[in-house]
């Protein structure tokens, strides 16, 4: 092997070691035929991470929960989201088919920020919700966020010593994709419809490099099989391209569920010394063509869903909640189980 050819395996091994310090999640986007676009993600966490589904209509007045410098807005689009601990929107889709997913990224470094200072700001707990409230496409989102009119500010997850470090992926009904990361205090945007897969560490540039290496090895012969983020990235990238390209919704959904489950970690698998090995708690699958949002709680035997065509997203519509945090068991179309509710309070800064 020539010296220069030895460099990448060394970097690959180093990168894989880095990934052992993070918590795993996976996100993948499927493009079928005739406008069939489906986005799936898994939520993996070492402990319980209670989730509820929420319906947010248009016209909600929001503030950035980052002190007196917080930005303010009124939601332009309605959405269905999955909350974490009812303090943040961690996943969701709006009525235009724009999907957002927050995943952990330990390398995240947000801009320097002074609470109640002069710089306009937005708490990280609202980052995804801000996007779903205001934009209909990936291109529109990128155009707005690259202006850097405000900073994203983070803090500790309430009641813990865990500082929230996440990156954001978005996809739309056309199949476009973008990933937003804060590296060394600066916003880095990766915008390309081919960016269909994302996991946790390393940063997205390095994920692409690792995947390029594995593309030289036929997936039918060997794929990396551990729960590490880099390995899950490779498997998700391979399988989302290998499954049938179809416009049959039933077949496409079954295939995408198979991919995201392949990248999940069985319940009960965890390690204090290897936090990358964290059980999958729940999964979502968003059908962006037909506007149906699916939720799969691993502690329940049934997948549930919500059809947007049946939801009143108008400003006269009601904020509604489907309680799932106590592993309530529903099946199939669960819109009728949503109950009118006061909105949860997004986490602010320490």
Residue 268 pLDDT grade (very low, low, confident, very high; cuts 50, 70, 90): low
pLDDT band at 94 (very low <50, low <70, confident <90, very high): very high
Residues found in the chain = 350
Tens of pLDDT, residues 220-233? 555 766 667 677 78
Distances, alpha carbon 107 to alpha carbons 119, 142, 171, 219, 329, in Å: 23, 21, 22, 29, 37
Exposure on the CB side of residue 135, measured as CA atoms within 13 A: 21
Which one has a higher pLDDT value, 336 or 21? Answer: 336
pLDDT tens digit sequence for 227-251: 676 777 888 888 999 999 999 999 9
Q: What is the pLDDT, as a whole number, of residue 332? A: 96
pLDDT of 98-138, one tens digit each? Answer: 999 999 887 888 888 878 888 999 999 999 999 999 999 99
Residue 60, pLDDT above cutoff 70: yes
- Residue range 37-53, pLDDT digits in tens: 999 999 877 767 889 99
Regarding beta strands 37-44 and 25-31, do their DSSP bridges make them parallel or antiparallel, or are they unpaired? antiparallel
For 255, counting Cβ atoms within 10 Å of its Cβ (0-12 exposed, 13-18 middle, 19+ buried), the class is buried
pLDDT at residue 115, as a whole number: 83
The chain-wide mean pLDDT, for the chain, equals 86
Percent of the chain residues topping a pLDDT of 70: 81
Residue 25 catalytic? yes
Structure confidence at residue 2 (pLDDT): 45
Residue 244: C-alpha distances to residues 28, 172, 254 (Å): 15, 20, 11
C-alpha–C-alpha distance, residues 244 and 228, integer Å:
26
Please write the tens of the pLDDT for every residue from 175-199: 999 999 999 999 999 999 999 998 8
* All structural domains of the chain: 8-340 (3.60.60.10)
pLDDT digits (tens, 9 = 90+) for 294-337: 999 988 889 999 999 999 999 999 999 999 999 899 999 999 99
The values of phi and psi at residue 206, to 5°, are -75, -30
Please state, as a whole number, how many other Cβ atoms lie within 10 Å of the Cβ of residue 265.
21
For residue 49, what pLDDT is reported? 80
φ, ψ for residue 284, nearest 5 deg: -125, 150
**CA distances for 311 relative to 21, 59, 300, 324, 341, angstroms:** 41, 15, 24, 19, 15
Nearest alpha carbon to residue 129 among 155, 163, 168, 164: 168
The CA-based dihedral angle spanning residues 219, 222, 225, 229, taken in that order and rounded to the nearest 10 degrees: -50
For residue 217, pLDDT beyond 80: no
Which of 18, 25, 102, 253 is the catalytic position?
Answer: 25
What's the pLDDT tens digit per position in 145-170?
A: 999 999 999 888 888 888 888 999 99
Q: Quick one: pLDDT at residue 6?
A: 43
- DSSP codes, 151-211: EEE--BPTTSSPBP-EEEEEE-TTS-EEEEEEETTEEEEEE-TT--EE-SSS-HHHHHHHH
Residues 6+ apart with CB under 8 A from 195: 177, 178, 179, 204
What pLDDT sits at residue 113? 80
């Amino acid at each position: 092997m020539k010296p220069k050819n030895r460099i990448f395996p060394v970097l690959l091994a180093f990168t894989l070691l880095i990934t052992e310090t993070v918590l795993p999640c996976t996100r993948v986007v499927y493009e079928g035929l005739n406008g069939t676009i489906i986005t799936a993600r898994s939520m993996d966490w070492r402990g319980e991470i209670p989730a509820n589904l929420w319906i947010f209509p248009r016209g909600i007045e929001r503030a950035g929960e980052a002190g007196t410098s917080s930005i303010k807005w009124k939601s332009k689009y309605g959405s269905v989201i999955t909350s974490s601990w009812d303090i943040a929107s961690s996943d969701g889709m709006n009525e235009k088919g724009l999907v957002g997913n927050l995943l952990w990224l330990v390398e995240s470094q947000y801009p320097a920020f002074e609470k109640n200072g002069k710089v306009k700001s937005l708490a990280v707990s609202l980052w995804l919700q801000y996007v779903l409230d205001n934009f209909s496409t990936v291109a529109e989102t990128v155009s707005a966020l690259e202006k850097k009119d405000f900073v994203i500010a983070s803090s500790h997850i309430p009641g813990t010593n865990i500082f929230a470090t996440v990156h954001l992926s978005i996809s739309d009904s056309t199949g476009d994709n973008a990933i937003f990361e804060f590296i060394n205090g600066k916003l880095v945007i990766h915008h390309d419809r081919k960016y269909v897969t994302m996991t946790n560490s390393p940063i997205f540039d390095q994920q692409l490099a690792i995947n390029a290496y594995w593309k030289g090895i036929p997936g039918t012969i060997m794929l990396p099989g551990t729960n590490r983020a880099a390995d899950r990235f490779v498997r998700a990238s391979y399988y989302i391209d290998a499954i049938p390209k179809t416009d049959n919704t039933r077949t496409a959904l079954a295939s995408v569920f198979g991919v995201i489950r392949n990248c999940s970690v069985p319940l009960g698998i965890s390690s204090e010394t290897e936090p990358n090995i964290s059980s999958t708690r729940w999964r979502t699958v968003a059908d962006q063509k037909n506007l149906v949002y699916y939720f799969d709680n691993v502690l329940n035997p049934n997948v549930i869903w919500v059809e947007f065509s049946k939801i009143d997203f108008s400003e006269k519509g009601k904020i509604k909640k489907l309680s799932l945090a106590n592993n309530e068991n529903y099946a199939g179309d669960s819109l009728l189980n949503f109950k009118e509710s006061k909105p949860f309070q997004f986490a602010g800064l320490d």
